[in-house]
A = this chain, B = another copy of it.
Amino acid sequence: MDDLKQYLTDRAAEVDAALDAFLPKARQRPATVHEAMRYSLFAGGKRLRPVLCLAAAEACGGDPDAALPSACAVELMHTYSLVHDDLPCMDDDDLRRGRPTCHKVYGDGMAVLTGDALLTEAFLVLSESSPTRRYPLAAFVAELAITGGSTKLIGGQVMDLEGEGKDLTKAQLVKIHEAKTAALLTTSIRLGAMSANATDGKLESLSTFGHALGLAFQVIDDILDVTQTTEKLGKTAGKDEAVAKATYPAILGLDKARKEAHRLTKKAMSALEPFGRKAHRLRQIAEYLLERDY
A→B interface (CB under 8 Å): 24, 28-30, 32-34, 37, 80, 84, 87, 89-90, 107-110, 112-113, 115-117, 119-121, 123-124, 126-128, 136-138, 141-142, 144-146, 148-151, 154-155, 157-159, 161-162
Contacts and interface: CB of A to CB of B under 8 A. Distances in A.
Number of copies: 2
Given A24-B151, A117-B154, 18 more contacts: A30-B150, A30-B159, A30-B162, A37-B150, A90-B112, A90-B113, A110-B161, A112-B112, A113-B154, A113-B158, A115-B116, A116-B154, A119-B120, A120-B148, A120-B149, A124-B142, A137-B138, A137-B141
Nearest to A148: B120
In order of increasing CB-CB distance, the 9 nearest A-B pairs are A89-B108, A124-B145, A127-B141, A117-B150, A89-B109, A30-B158, A127-B138, A90-B109, A137-B137
A178 to B, nearest CB: 13
Contacts of A157: 113
Contacts of A120: 119, 145, 148-150, 154
